[in-house]
Amino acid sequence: KREGLQALMGLESVSLDGVRVELVANIGSPADAVAAKERGAEGVGLYRTEFLYMGRDTLPSEDEQYDAYVSVARTFGPIAPIVIRTMDIGGDKELPLLELPKEDNPFLGFRAIRISLDRPELFKTQLRAILRASAYGNLKIMFPMIATLAEWRAAKALVDVCKDELRAEGAVFNESIQCGIMIEIPAAALLADRFAKEVDFFSIGTNDLTQYTCAADRMNQKLAALNDPLQPAVLHLIERVIRAARAEGKWTGMCGEMAGQPHAVPLLLGLGLHEFSMSANAVLPARGLVRGMDQASMAALAAEALELETPDAIRALVEARVPAVR
């Protein structure tokens, strides 16, 4: 089986009827980027930059962050997309350095973009580093945990402030760098049509989107059946988000665990997902699946799946039509 997978290195991620998708990796460090490239990833769909901040006594400087982002860009070269998510501290990822008050419900608390918007100097340091690094690769900026249009607009406005500063300093950066948001809060999924008019892209974070939609802590093993992205409610939100983006000519990615799950890949291809971001080991198996499927047939399959009432029924349907997922 391994040898079969190796044969997929360097091949296009294209369906039998010619629909091309991007199979990219989730990474947490520049070293992960090297490993991901070796495993066939076409770029990075989620760089979890919070790991730059964690487990240390001081905040990472602009130059230190810049070095990390340039390193990832160099690994993948000038064309491959590299989606850099601004820091997602909070929830299960603590940062004692920020001296944040202890919370009863950290997953519903002061985290991610909420911290970044509250601490613009901290946020701007990261945005400036990403912008400067964008001279070396196809970097994109992604904001985590967006719930409202106001948050997105405030974050985007700070990108523009940083661009003005860098321009005045004579720094080189990609003026037309794409800015997008994670869709991982139901509030954002429900207003996807409005967001789609303003953002450059969406990336669906199914780990959090599922936990918030089903109100089931993603760390709680007892709730695993509820924490299933094939819950019909979650699948309907995903369909809505991709459709909203397409209506505005924008692309949609997915960077939650679902993107690399064999049973999900046919459905997501059918729903029109453009970019699948997953742990590096899942890339070649996903490419094998995509190359064996017909996108038009998967669109019909997805439409049928949306009518079903349980994750088990959806899985059974996918297995019946695409035996390769088993």
298 contact partners, CB below 8 Å, separation of at least 6: 15, 266, 267, 269, 270, 322
Stretch of residues binding Mg ion (CB under 5 A), selected from 49-57, 161-169, 197-205, 266-274: 197-205
* Residue 255 contact, options Mg ion, ligand PEP, none, Cβ 5-8 Å cut-off depending on partner type: ligand PEP
Q: How far apart are CA 142 and CA 181, in angstroms?
A: 5
- Mark 130-169 with x for binding to ligand PEP (rule: CB under 6 A) and - for no binding: ----------------------------------------
Instruction: Tell me the closest approach of the beta carbon of residue 49 to Mg ion, in angstroms.
Output: 13
205 lines the binding site for ligand PEP (CB under 6 A): yes
How far, in whole angstroms, is CA 255 from its chain's centroid? 3
Interface size with ligand PEP, residues (CB under 6 A): 10
Instruction: Tell me the closest approach of the beta carbon of residue 67 to ligand PEP, in angstroms.
Output: 22
Instruction: Tell me the closest approach of the beta carbon of residue 277 to Mg ion, in angstroms.
Output: 12
* Residue 206 contact, options Mg ion, ligand PEP, none, Cβ 5-8 Å cut-off depending on partner type: ligand PEP
Stretch of residues binding ligand PEP (CB under 6 A), selected from 30-38, 70-78, 170-178, 202-210: 202-210
Instruction: Tell me the closest approach of the beta carbon of residue 178 to Mg ion, in angstroms.
Output: 20
Residues between 226 and 265 with contacts to ligand PEP, criterion CB under 6 A: 255-256
In the bound state with ligand PEP, the residue whose beta carbon lies nearer, of 144 and 288, is 144
Structure-token pair, residue 200 = 């450059």
Please count the CA atoms within 13 angstroms of the CA of 205 that sit on its side-chain side: 25
184 lines the binding site for Mg ion (CB under 5 A): yes
Instruction: Report the residue number whose CB is nearest to ligand PEP.
Output: 205
Instruction: Tell me the closest approach of the beta carbon of residue 3 to ligand PEP, in angstroms.
Output: 31
Residues between 79 and 98 with contacts to ligand PEP, criterion CB under 6 A: 88
Stretch of residues binding Mg ion (CB under 5 A), selected from 63-71, 120-128, 161-169, 181-189: 181-189
Stretch of residues binding ligand PEP (CB under 6 A), selected from 29-37, 58-66, 152-160, 206-214: 206-214
User: Which of residues 208, 228, 239, 275 is near ligand PEP by CB under 6 A?
Assistant: 208
207 lines the binding site for ligand PEP (CB under 6 A): yes
Q: Which residues bind ligand PEP (CB under 6 A)?
A: 46, 48, 88, 184, 205-208, 255-256
Q: Which residues bind Mg ion (CB under 5 A)?
A: 184, 205, 208
